Amino acid sequence: MLRTPQLLPPRVRPADIPRQILIRPKEFQKELLDELRYHQAQVIYSTDETHWLQEDRFEPAWADCVWRDVKGLEFDSITDAQKKLRAISPRWRYFGDLFHRRGALIAEGVVSKKKQQPFRFPSLPPSASDPVFTLADEHWILYSQSVSRPTMNGLIPFEENKDVPPSRAYLKLWEALTILGEWPQPGERVVDLGSSPGSWSWALAELNARVVSLDRTELSPKVMRSTNIEFRRGDAFSFQPTPMDWVFSDVICYPEKLFDYVHSWLESGHCQKFVCNIKLRGESDPVLIERFQTLPQSRVLHTLHGKHELTWIHHPRLQQQKFVK
Ligand SMILES: C[S@@+](CC[C@H](N)C(=O)[O-])C[C@H]1O[C@@H](n2cnc3c(N)ncnc32)[C@H](O)[C@@H]1O
């Protein structure tokens, strides 16, 4: 059961230190709670902004961000907290939540005062790898040196291109690739399924990948002109597995259809890297999400630039998660 803030123990004891902190989504709270309930996740505490989990078997798809391998740090005073934090890392990021005023005072000594600049894809600001901390009570810090996304709360403020791409859909793709920390390299062969009007294809062509772009309808004329894009009109699912460096899909289709399709790709062994959007119909279904999550080397996540959809990422670097209930 989820606890409400009123039930916070007066003082967090080491035994209460969560293994994971989930940043709660603004919009999809119910979806996250359904997912946690389905997996019988042990939520030891919830604040307005976070859920604290006693375990780290898997990373819930609907969390805006996951702080992994959380540790606790006891301190006496603000100076003591700063000294102990600096002993771990010279620079930190601070997430204001419980005991915010006290936390902000600690942050003054360890957090860079530089305002966060918009992210210019494909690069990350150096602060993206700084560890993060928040306060659990007046004398306990919770911190993580492994955050699932480049910002503490998950939102990545990109410098947008308002001239060429025909829609803002490319932001979802940039977000997924930034979280993965890898993107197509010049000359790599990629296929973009369900590509019209073409912002994903544009984003991939900008990386100088060689893009096969497939949709039933044409791309916008500006995108069509790119020499890196070969447009093919037709049914995305008729594109049979063939050697490719990346497969991308934003096709609007039943999730089950996408599952069977990507499964055939995985079985073929022709491609190791996938970024595919799962278009949800009606309520989010934890059973369906789990099917994608339990594919080998996979993550399912909600991009904050996306709407009622999830993104399945498959990459050789991703480790298998444990879903044992
Ligand atoms: C959300 S839009 C894609 C937007 C695109 N990623 C972009 O950045 O501009 C979904 C696309 O899927 C296409 N689509 C749906 N079913 C398809 C199918 N079976 N084969 C090919 N395209 C399909 C639609 O024509 C539509 O253009």
Domain ranges of the chain: 5-147, 170-314
Closest atom of ligand 1 to 199 CA is 8
The alpha carbon of 153 and the centre of ligand 1 are apart by a number of angstroms equal to 30
Residue of the CA atom closest to atom 27 of ligand 1: 196
The alpha carbon of 197 and the centre of ligand 1 are apart by a number of angstroms equal to 8
Q: What is the DSSP letter of 14?
A: G
Distance of CA 138 to the CA centre of its chain: 31
Distance between CA atoms of residues 17 and 164, nearest Å: 48
List ligand 1's pocket residues with C-beta within 6 A: 167, 169-170, 194-200, 215-217, 235-237, 250-253
Residue of the CA atom closest to atom 11 of ligand 1: 194
The alpha carbon of 150 and the centre of ligand 1 are apart by a number of angstroms equal to 28
Provide the residue type at 133 as one letter.
F
Instruction: Record the pTM.
Output: 0.94
Q: What is residue 8's predicted lDDT score, i.e. its pLDDT?
A: 54
Residue 245 tokens, joined? 């460096």
The alpha carbon of 193 and the centre of ligand 1 are apart by a number of angstroms equal to 7
Q: What is residue 126's predicted lDDT score, i.e. its pLDDT?
A: 81
The alpha carbon of 237 and the centre of ligand 1 are apart by a number of angstroms equal to 11
Q: What is residue 3's predicted lDDT score, i.e. its pLDDT?
A: 47
Q: What is residue 128's predicted lDDT score, i.e. its pLDDT?
A: 87
Q: What is the largest CA-CA distance in the chain?
A: 66
Q: What is the DSSP letter of 8?
A: -
The alpha carbon of 217 and the centre of ligand 1 are apart by a number of angstroms equal to 8
* Residues of the chain below pLDDT 50: 1, 3-7
Q: What is residue 127's predicted lDDT score, i.e. its pLDDT?
A: 84
Distance between CA atoms of residues 245 and 187, nearest Å: 10
* Pocket residue to mutate for ligand 1, from 161, 211, 216, most atoms within 8 A of Cβ: 216
The alpha carbon of 194 and the centre of ligand 1 are apart by a number of angstroms equal to 3
Residue of the CA atom closest to atom 1 of ligand 1: 250
**Topology of the domain comprising 170-314:** Rossmann fold (3.40.50)
